[in-house]
Amino acid sequence: MWVMLQTLNDEVPKYRDQISSPGLTVFPKPVTALEYSFSVSKRESYEGYIEDLKKFLKPYTAEAQKNLRNCQDGALFEQKGPVYEACQFPLALLEACSGESDPEFGYSKGHPCILVKMNRIIGLKPQGKPAIECTGNSKGENTTTLPVYPSEGNIDLKYFPYYGKKLHASYLQPLVAVQFNYTASSTPKEVTVECKIVGSKNLKNYDDRDKFLGRVAFKITMRA
């Protein structure tokens, strides 16, 4: 056992074959299942979500990012070490969902923000121009594409590859926010949202068994 532990690399796991393609996860962190339910008029019904988002975005504040590098857009940021730098992810990219202009992330207005991110995988180098695309489906209505920030849900290549917790301690993941523009009405609004990665050949967005590989589906129930 001890021998086995000695053979381990501290920085990079020996194999990454079982996570060749990243999953998608959403924030605020769901409590029991992938369902968000709140009432626009009742602050306490969404306060938890706001807190969670704020907590999640803490490393993204300008203050926290000031030591990070402003990398060149549109290209992989490969490094040789021994010191590995992380690229800035300005919160402004998330526009209305950045929490800066609207500290309530749209929940109080009935335009809630949900953050979507790709799982970290060491050494992953996306090909093409990866982006997150979200669609919303409400009962009796057509499926519509939802607005995402940064525009078109782009995930810049400069955030890749990731070099692991130990070497790349300050690493910030790129985020995409999706916002709902449904107007609040008296009847509860139920929307099923599906987000997936598009635009990259090596990032899968469909797997029979893994419902979260390159995609994520969740439900928002909003009452007036």
Partner 1 sequence: MGQKTPQIYSVELNGAKDMKQTDKGDDKDKYRGLWSTCLELRKNHHKEHVTKEIDLDDHKLSNKELENKYHTNIVTGLSSTQAAELLARDGPNALSPPQETPEIIKFLKQMVGGFSILLWVGAILCWIAYGIQFSNDKSSSLDNVYLGTVLALVVILTGIFAYYQEAKSTNIMASFSKMIPQQALVIRDSEKKIIPAEQLVVGDIVEIKGGDQIPADIRLLFAQGCKVDNSSLTGESEPQPRSCEFTHDNPLETKNIGFYSTTCLEVSISPVGTATGMVINTGDRTIIGHIASLASGVGNEKTPIATEIEHFVHIVAGVAISIGVLFFIIAVSMKYRVLDSIIFLIGIIVANVPEGLLATVTVTLSLTAKRMAKKNCLVKNLEAVETLGSTSIICSDKTGTLTQNRMTVAHLWFDNQIFMADTSEDHFKQTFDQSSGTWASLSKIITLCNRAEFRPGQERVPIMKRVVVGDASETALLKFSEVVLGDVMEIRKRNHKVAEIPFNSTNKFQLSIHKTDDPTDKRFLMVMKGAPEKILEKCSTIMVNGQEQPLDQSTAEAFYTAYMELGGLGERVLGFCHLYLSADEFPETYSFDVDAMNFPMSNLCFVGLLSMIDPPRSTVPDAITKCRSAGIKVIMVTGDHPITAKAIAKSVGIISANSETVEDIAKRLNIAVEQVNKQDAKAVVVTGMELKDMSEDQLDEVLTSYPEIVFARTSPQQKLIIVEGCQRQDAVVAVTGDGVNDSPALKKADIGIAMGIAGSDAAKNAADMVLLDDNFASIVTGVEEGRLIFDNLKKTIAYTLTKNIAELCPFLIYIIVGVPLPLGTITILFIDLGTDIVPSIALAYEKAESDIMNRKPRHKKKDRLVNKPLAVYSYLHIGLMQSLGAFLVYFTVYAQEGFRPSTLINLRVEWEKDFVNNLEDSYGQEWTRYQRKYLEWTGYTAFFIGIMIQQIADLIIRKTRKNSIFQQGLFRNKVIWVGIASQIIIALILSYGLGSITALNFTMLRPQYWFVAVPHAFLIWVYDEVRKLFIRLYPGSWWDKNMYY
Sites of contact with partner 1 (CB under 8 A): 1, 4-5, 8, 11-19, 22-25, 30, 32-34, 117, 119-122, 162, 164-166, 168, 171, 207, 209-213, 216
Q: How far is the CB of 165 from partner 1 (least distance, A)?
A: 3
Q: Which is nearer to partner 1, 33 or 83 (CB)?
A: 33
Write phi, then psi, for 18 (nearest 5 degrees): -85, -10
Q: Which is nearer to partner 1, 44 or 208 (CB)?
A: 208
- Distance, CA of 120 to CA of 122 (rounded, Å): 7
In the complex, minimum distance from the CB of residue 56 to partner 1, in angstroms, rounded to a whole number: 11
In terms of CB distance, is 22 or 136 closer to partner 1? 22
Comparison of 22 and 110: residue with beta carbon closer to partner 1: 22
Residue 101 beta carbon to partner 1: minimum distance, rounded to whole angstroms: 27
The CB-of-185 to partner 1 minimum distance in angstroms stands at 28
> Which 3-state string (H, E, C) describes the chain?
CHHHHHCCCCCCCCCCHHHCCCEEEEECCCCCCCEEEEECCCHHHHHHHHHHHHHHHHHHCHHHHCCCECCCCCCCCCCCCCCCCCECCCHHHHHHHCCCCCCCCCCCCCCCEEEEEECCCECCCCCCCCEEEEEEEECCCCCEECCEECHHHECCHHHCCECCCCCCCCCCCCEEEEECCCCCCCCCEEEEEEEEEECCCCCCCCCCCCCCECEEEEEEEEEC
CB of 122 to partner 1, least distance (A): 6
> Of 162 and 180, which has the nearer Cβ to partner 1?
162
Q: Smaller CB distance to partner 1: residue 40 or 178?
A: 178
- What's the closest the beta carbon of residue 132 comes to partner 1, in angstroms? 15
